[in-house]
Structure 1
Amino acid sequence: MQHVKIPQDRIGVLIGQGGETMREIEAEAEVRLDIDSENGSVAVETVGDPVLGLKGPEIVQAIGRGFAPDAALRLLEDEMMMFDVVDIDAASRNKNDLQRQKGRLIGEDGRTRELMEELAGADIVIYGTTLGMIGTPEQVDAARTAAEMLLDGAPHGTVYSFLEDRHNEMKHQGLQYHRFPGSDSEEA
């Protein structure tokens, strides 16, 4: 059994209308979820296929980091799909810098985040003080590198060029997957 802590405001999303989302996750990932809505703690117990069960905590974490349940369930599509998080707060000096860094990652009208998604091929959500990614290892690596470049102060144009190069490499190697729309991304 694994324990995952998610923000209070994401518990309703995890449970879903009448428990529908929770039941879908339990059925698809072959796990049982025990949700403590008081403190946001979720116990994830594998009750079926252990390989599928390993994805259960990641699905819960992804929903906790702002992903829509459908996007989080993409982790079950392929054993290569992965979830990763960049801590924006760790790259910020103070609260004002945190807002500036989030703004750099989101971009005007969300355009930077959208371009990172399109060119890396990963689903990307900026929620609270984190940037979450779901995709193949190559997609997540491209998105993480781009985010870290932006957090380190690289000009947006440089990051876009990097992403275009990586996009073309992945396309050439046949690694590009189609993104799944439907993330509940927070816009600064």
Structure 2
Amino acid sequence: MRHVTIPQDRIGVLIGEGGATMRDIEDRAGVRLDIDSETGSVGVESVEDPVQGLKGPDIVRAIGRGFAPEDALTLLDDELMLLELIDIEAATRNETDLTRKKGRLIGENGRTRELMAELSGASVVIYGSTVGAIGTPEEVEVVRNAVEMILDGAPHGSVYSYLERKHNELKSPGMEYHQYTG
């Protein structure tokens, strides 16, 4: 059994109304969840296909980091789907800096986060001091690079240009070799 600890305020989301979300995860991932709502500790035990069961802890972790259960369950869609969590706090000096950088990642009315998701093809959530991305390795890499650019202080315009370029590359395989990237 593997253990994942999630924030208290996400336990209800993990369980769902009348336990519906928990049962859905258990059925679809072939795992059994043992949730301690006092501590936020969730035991994840594989009961069916052990390979599919390996995704169980990531599904729980994704919900714990702010993803909607249906987005977290996309991790089961294909073995290439992965969850990446980027620690914003690691790139900040103090609480004020964390708030400022988190604000830059979210953008005005959530626009920056929205564009990261839209143009990369990944699901993107900003929760607490992490940015979470669920997608293929290529999609997640685009999000990671965009987040790092923003955390390093790049202007939003440069980040949006990068996202547009990557969006076009991901949409038209093979074309990336014919584009000028200056």
Same fold by TM-score greater than 0.5? yes
Match status 1:136 vs 2:136? yes
Pairwise CA distance, 1:51: 1.3
Count of residue pairs brought into register by the alignment: 174
Name the CA distance, whole Å, in 1 between partners of 2:19 and 2:76. Answer: 20
Name the CA distance, whole Å, in 2 between partners of 1:2 and 1:149. Answer: 34
- The runs of at least 4 consecutive aligned structure 1 residues that moved more than 3 Å come to none
Name the CA distance, whole Å, in 1 between partners of 2:117 and 2:19. Answer: 30
The higher relative CO (CA closer than 8 Å, separation ≥ 6) is in: 1
2:5 is aligned to: 5
Per-residue CA shift, 1:130-153, capped at 9, x if unaligned? Answer: 100000000000001000110010
Name the CA distance, whole Å, in 2 between partners of 1:108 and 1:18. Answer: 36
Pairwise CA distance, 1:163: 0.9
Name the CA distance, whole Å, in 1 between partners of 2:167 and 2:33. Answer: 37
SS in structure 1 of the partner of residue 157 of structure 2: helix
Name the CA distance, whole Å, in 2 between partners of 1:65 and 1:136. Answer: 18
2:51 is aligned to: 51
Instruction: Give the residue type in structure 1 aligned to 2:130.
Output: T
2:79 is aligned to: 79
1:89 is aligned to: 89
1:10-25 mapped onto 2 (5 Å cutoff) = 10-25=10-25
1:68 is aligned to: 68
Per-residue CA shift, 1:38-59, capped at 9, x if unaligned? Answer: 1000000000011110000000
Name the CA distance, whole Å, in 2 between partners of 1:114 and 1:44. Answer: 31
Name the CA distance, whole Å, in 2 between partners of 1:75 and 1:143. Answer: 16
1:158 is aligned to: 158
SS in structure 2 of the partner of residue 150 of structure 1: helix
Per-residue CA shift, 1:8-28, capped at 9, x if unaligned? Answer: 000000001111100000000
Pairwise CA distance, 1:173: 1.4
1:145 is aligned to: 145
Name the CA distance, whole Å, in 2 between partners of 1:96 and 1:85. Answer: 21
1:116-131 mapped onto 2 (5 Å cutoff) = 116-131=116-131
Instruction: Give the residue type in structure 2 aligned to 1:145.
Output: N
1:177 is aligned to: none
Specify every segment of 5 or more residues in structure 1 that has no aligned partner in the other structure, as ranges: 175-188
